[in-house]
Amino acid sequence: MKVTAKKNEQVANMKFFSVYPHYVTKIEKKGRSIKELHQVIEWLTGFNEQRIQELIDEKVTFRTFFERATLHPNAHLIKGVICGYRIEEIANEFEIYRKCRYLDKLVDELAKGRKMEKILRA
CA nearest neighbour of 4 among 118, 120, 85, 104: 85
- Tell me how far apart the alpha carbons of residues 3 and 28 are, in angstroms, rounded to a whole number: 30
Domains of the chain in sequence order: 5-119 (1.10.8.290)
- Quickly state the pLDDT bin for 38 (edges 50, 70, 90): very high
Torsion of CA 4, 27, 78, 65, to 10 degrees: 60
Look at residue 32 and tell me whether its pLDDT is greater than 90.
Answer: yes
**Secondary structure element (H or E) that encloses residue 86, with its range:** strand 85-86
Task: Please measure the distance between the N-terminal and C-terminal CA atoms of the chain and give it in whole angstroms.
Answer: 29
Mean pLDDT, rounded, for 55-68: 98
Segment 75-101, tens digit of pLDDT: 999 999 998 889 999 999 999 999 999
Residue 2's pLDDT band, with cuts at 50, 70 and 90, is: confident
- Contact (Cβ atoms closer than 8 angstroms) between residue 38 and residue 74: no
3-state secondary structure of 85: strand
Cα 104-24-6 angle, rounded to 5 deg: 35
> So what's the pLDDT on residue 45?
98
> What are the phi and psi torsion angles at 58 (to 5°)?
-75, -15
